[in-house]
Structure 1
Amino acid sequence: MNGRTGGRRLDQIRSVIIETDVAPYAEGSCIISTGATRVLCTASVSTNVPPWREASGAGWVTAEYAMLPRATHTRTRRERSGAKGRTQEIQRLIGRSLRSVTDMKILGLHTVTVDCDVLHADGGTRTASITGACVAVSLAF
């Protein structure tokens, strides 16, 4: 026995499939599938930045992350009063990852908000969200 459900070998990565332009109103969007994990990522561009960012003349990139209530084996309640521990940590990780590879000066006074919504969680939701978010941002421009 190899210890993995689904029969994947220990040295075998999940298959990766990225379907683009899945949300027509978003400037950039994709559904990324890594194995059975599926995440919808959308990038929305607005013509403003947070007040503390205005003087710099540079843009901003931020992210939100959520799991749909039935993305896991048992239904999980939606987070109503703001992001809690794990969710907040993942949102910050996605945002920081995107900011590390984005030239904020080129954005001008624009904010890119990326929403990552887990449709089905079967492991690797963080990495799938980061990869999908990068694709969505690149499609937004």
Structure 2
Amino acid sequence: MTAPQSSKFPAREGRDPLTPRPVTVKRGVNPHAPGSAHLIMGRTEILATVTLEEKPAPHMRGKKEGWLTAEYSMLPRATTDRQARERNLQNGRRYEIQRLLGRALRAGMDLRFFRNQTLYVDCDVLVADGGTRVASILAGHAALHDFCDRLIQKGQLTDWPIARNVGAISVGLLGDEVRVDLDYQEDKAARADLNVVATDAGLIVEVQGGAEEGALTHEEYVRLLSTGTAAVQDVMREITRQLAVIQGL
């Protein structure tokens, strides 16, 4: 049953406060990339691709592991108003998001399989309606799944290199109500919000965010964190189910 909506805050378009937006993911959408995925979460859309470079990152030379790095960009009309292409800007937000994506996706990979190599995960926002960084983590995971599956299918790997399934979700407080997977209007109205990165087993990888107005109590923060972790598990179950369908191979 859908929870009643407060007139003070944005409506949820038929979903209750603890239900994420519908998510769909399709693998193998880019014929030129060895791994790719198109993810739609509500009205937010992400295209993620994986590229393998046959040389180590400078700081990984001589190490037993390879490296994974991520890049994030938003197309000019991903938002309601045209934004200049981010490649032409010194954009601190973009670099912050890229570092988050890299840390999150590395947490899921056993990079010993890619010694002296570098994985690049490019996440491009096609349409933005809130939650682009968490949706990019989900799309990046799906693209890596596609990439690794292709290596297995081709006999280039015999063991599965994804050590754990890592996903993410946003969670916020609108008044005293906890909501998961905030869209843009909810994000603007929230008095606190977190981006929770966790595994499908409920282990926390990273938490980013905080209060927008005043301060949070310890109990409020714990409630946000536990709700977000549970929501990540729900979303990852659905994404894992969809990734089991082999597309484009």
Q: Same fold (TM over 0.5)?
A: yes
Structure 1 residues without counterparts, runs of 5 or longer: none
SS class of match (1:52): helix
Tell me which of 36, 40, 44 is aligned to 2:51: 44
SS class of match (1:55): coil
- Using the size of structure 2 for normalisation, the TM-score is 0.54
1:75 to 2:97 alignment: no
CA deviations on 1:46-85 (whole Å, 9 max, x unpaired) are: 1111122111032110000000000000000012346511
1:4 to 2:10 alignment: yes
CA deviations on 1:7-55 (whole Å, 9 max, x unpaired) are: 2432321000001111011111011000010000000111111122111
Deviates most, 33-42 or 5-14: 5-14
The percent identity for this pair of structures is 41
Distance 1:109 1:134 in 2: 21
CA deviations on 1:65-120 (whole Å, 9 max, x unpaired) are: 00000000000001234651111111000000011111121112111100000000
Aligned twin of 2:67: 60
SS class of match (1:10): coil
After TM superposition, what 4+ stretches of structure 1 lie above 4 angstroms from structure 2?
none
1:127 to 2:134 alignment: yes
Residue identity opposite 1:19 in structure 2 = K
Structure 2 residues without counterparts, runs of 5 or longer: 149-249
SS class of match (1:131): helix
Aligned residues: 141
CA separation of 1:137 and 1:84: change in aligned 2, threshold 3 A:
same
Tell me the C-alpha RMSD between the 2 structures.
1.5
Higher relative contact order (CA 8 A, sep 6+): 1
Aligned twin of 2:113: 106
1:21 to 2:28 alignment: yes
